[in-house]
Structure 1
């Protein structure tokens, strides 16, 4: 049977064909190494994905999201389902297409279950720029995710904190929420450490007080200190003080 003409193809089929045409084999292999266990990676570079998203935002982004999300629910992500690159394009369409939180909320809720790796999580959170205009609504929205038992729901909440709420008005509440998280997932612990380092740069005094009284496990605590000392926005004297706060490493504190 002959292939469908462009006019006969769904919008997802049209963009799937274009994604295949933009595959960069070297980038695919590089990106696969960064995403162990993630299937269906074509290797389309992020600037190309953003360009395709901008085209969709002119016309068809809602239909694209509907078709990709339906396919993901039916077949999941992978070579025989939805490409990782389609998931990223879906995320970019949500972030660029929704102009109010009332519009965005249902799209965000629908996308979160499709997050199964750090890259799609972090790109989605950093691209959700409308959060800066709807602080209180988004703050309330992410609270249940900070209490979740799911690795990537927790990471979503944490990365939203560090991207959109690393400021004095939210620091105490945010650090308290970070401190309550107990999860052995590597990508949760790394997000906790990363978030603390961002809060340290933005709200040093309150974060230093927090570190002196935190209930973090030793691995996450020490990783947070490491990330703080790696920041070019922390002076050498402060870095020396932070290094002196490192806890002794215990042999039973390994992270899976």
Structure 2
């Protein structure tokens, strides 16, 4: 008799890794301790079989079970309409940054159709649910920080008003990636943006933390940060 998904996950679980991961996640998250490469491999195997049946009956009890569902959605071969339906059904299950960000990373195949993907993402930026907004922001930073979409990314981030911590951190992260790739355009954005003080300062801090920001680009940020502190 084949092992159930739960049994397979438990066989892959590492107590030491579980204890380490638990320090990075909210207390309510129930962990088994399965590493991401194992989850990705299992997701690919499920996606080759009856993945619709799996998703319809999958358990949400453990962190890894929810993470796995997101990865299966990313790996499943289907059309854009069904993908968007699956994503919409999955979003309410996200209750931590790790599942959110890994889910976004698993959706890379959808980036080949950027315009409909962007149309799908944008309404989530005004959601009342913290992780639905974070989902939209992380999708922007993963797939849309390009010359063609940069102004749209700035406008989207500037329009986010959700007060959640994980939203603000995602917005700051997004703008920091913009600065790494497009420093002059991002400086212009900072001059006239409507970001709240926390997000604004975090976006500069996260830019400074990047090893790709050196020399004059780093000095500009240091001066900008000092100017903010004195204001």
Is the radius of gyration larger for structure 1 or structure 2? 1
Instruction: Give the alignment partner of residue 26 of structure 1, picking from 16, 26, 30.
Output: 16
2:48 corresponds in structure 1 to 58
1:164 corresponds in structure 2 to 143
- Which whole-Å CA distance do the structure 2 matches of 1:223 and 1:41 have between them? 29
Is it true that 1:196 corresponds to 2:186 in the alignment?
A: no
Q: Deviations over 1:138-193 (max 9, x none)?
A: 10001111111221111001000000101111111111111121232211111011
Is it true that 1:108 corresponds to 2:98 in the alignment?
A: no
- Which whole-Å CA distance do the structure 2 matches of 1:161 and 1:41 have between them? 28
Instruction: Give the alignment partner of residue 38 of structure 1, picking from 3, 8, 28.
Output: 28
What is the number of residues matched between the two proteins? 229
- Which whole-Å CA distance do the structure 2 matches of 1:131 and 1:46 have between them? 21
Pairs within 5 Å for 1:102-181: 102-181=81-160
For structure 2, list consecutive stretches of 5 or more residues without a partner in the other structure: none
**TM-score (normalizing by structure 1):** 0.85
- Which whole-Å CA distance do the structure 2 matches of 1:187 and 1:108 have between them? 19
- Which whole-Å CA distance do the structure 2 matches of 1:210 and 1:38 have between them? 38
Shift of 1:248: 2.2
Greater CA deviation, 93-102 or 208-217?
Answer: 93-102
2:201 corresponds in structure 1 to 222
Shift of 1:99: 4.4
- Which whole-Å CA distance do the structure 2 matches of 1:51 and 1:136 have between them? 29
- Which whole-Å CA distance do the structure 1 matches of 2:87 and 2:195 have between them? 29
**TM-score (normalizing by structure 2):** 0.93
Question: Aligned with 2:224: secondary structure?
Answer: coil
Is it true that 1:186 corresponds to 2:177 in the alignment?
A: no
Instruction: Give the alignment partner of residue 229 of structure 2, picking from 233, 240, 248.
Output: 248
> Which stretches of structure 1, 4 residues or more, deviate above 4 A after TM superposition?
none
Shift of 1:205: 2.2
Greater CA deviation, 49-58 or 159-168?
Answer: 49-58
Shift of 1:232: 2.1
Q: Is the 8 A contact 1:145 1:157 kept in 2?
A: yes
Is it true that 1:47 corresponds to 2:28 in the alignment?
A: no
- Which whole-Å CA distance do the structure 1 matches of 2:84 and 2:142 have between them? 18
Question: Aligned with 1:141: secondary structure?
Answer: helix
Shift of 1:206: 1.7
- Which whole-Å CA distance do the structure 2 matches of 1:200 and 1:85 have between them? 33
Q: Is the 8 A contact 1:53 1:89 kept in 2?
A: yes
For structure 1, list consecutive stretches of 5 or more residues without a partner in the other structure: 1-5, 8-12, 73-81, 251-256
